[in-house]
Amino acid sequence: MIEVRVQSLGIDQASKSPVVILQEANGERVLPIWIGPGEASAIAMELAGMKFARPLTHDLAVSLIRGLGGKLTRVLITRVQENTYYAEMLIQRGEEVFSFDARPSDSIAIALRMQAQLFTSEELLNSNTLEVATEDSATEFRPPTQEGTRSAEELQEYLRKLNPEDLGRFNP
List, for residues 142-153, the tens digit of each pLDDT value.
344 444 444 555
Task: Identify the pLDDT of residue 14.
Answer: 83
State the pTM of this model: 0.76
Distance CA 150, CA 124 (A): 17
Range of the domain at 161: 2-169
**Cross-strand bridge partners of residue 18:** 11
Distance CA 160, CA 153 (A): 10
Distance CA 52, CA 30 (A): 31
- ∠ at Cα 168 (145, 45), nearest 5°? 90
The DSSP 8-state label assigned to residue 165 in this structure reads G
User: pLDDT for 7-36, tens place per residue?
Assistant: 999 888 888 889 999 999 999 899 999 999
Q: Which residues contact 133 (CB under 8 A, 6 or more apart)?
A: 161, 162, 163, 166
Give me the residues of the chain with pLDDT under 50, please.
129-150
Distance CA 42, CA 62 (A): 13
For residues 19 and 3, is the Cβ–Cβ distance under 8 A?
A: no
- Counted domains in the chain: 1
Distance CA 81, CA 103 (A): 13
The CATH number of whichever domain residue 134 belongs to comes to 3.10.690.10
